[in-house]
Chain A
């Protein structure tokens, strides 16, 4: 084992046993920002101030729900649209009809809101039935 490897092992043990108080509090600490000084004359490794990682997405972006919107279309039949809402969302007939009529009279209706993945799945199903549907971030 070379001297370099011995030092690396020591550093590794040191790093594992030491944890800054803010790290324990749940704040992410980037290991990449902690640099160890391994100069030959140094008394021991010197730990520089750790830097906090910056979130790339804001809290708003993460928490923001998405909504599935169906838009009016003069071609699709009302009975057909009602059936599709019942099938895709499992809505009872009355609720499906209410949404269908909202699409017909107001030009669009919000059918569902929640996490993005599920909203995408619903929009995909609606497109499979040839309905005009989009997913949008909730304002």
Chain B
């Protein structure tokens, strides 16, 4: 897989079928349905439990707005991913081009997916720091790989399109 910036878009080329499939899974992975912990993480309370009025108003007025925002980001990503479905040879490598103006939507959708996967699998801090675990083993290993792969993509988008320094913590 190669990633580079091409004028107003980000190009991910030489995508093998496995990584292409992981990318196709982004929209589905953002869905917290059936996992209350994932739903709670995406829509966390805005204040402590003592502030009942604030929390109630938030649920009524702000949460629907957040849902719309998250759905819009996921739809943008899903539309970009349609490029991966046009490949005539199912096992051939393919290329994905992400318009620079979609960068925020990608960052948001990737974040949603990572948060939901982590909440559904209840990964520990130690597991999340293990960036070298093979995806071949169990469903859990594959999910952890998915979280790390999406994180890698986020880092790249941030660095290339938002202009973040390579290592801002030196």
Contact = CB atoms under 8 A, between A and B. Distances in A.
Interface of A: 74-80, 82-83, 93, 97, 101, 120, 123-124, 127-130, 132-136
A80 B45 contact: no
Interface string B21-46: 00000000000000000000011111
Given A75-B115, A130-B112, A80 B154 contact: yes
B125 interface: yes
Interface string B53-93: 01000000010011001000000000000000000000000
A97 B128 contact: no
A77 B46 contact: no
B169 A97 contact: yes
A139 B51 CA distance: 14
A97 B69 CA distance: 26
B114 to A, nearest CB: 5
B114 A75 contact: yes
A24 B54 CA distance: 37
Contacts of B51: 135
A135 B54 contact: yes
B111 interface: yes
A78 B168 CA distance: 9
A82 B168 contact: yes
A129 B107 CA distance: 9
A132 B47 CA distance: 10
A134 B48 CA distance: 7
B158 interface: yes
A132 B118 CA distance: 15
Given A77-B151, A97-B168, A128 B69 contact: yes
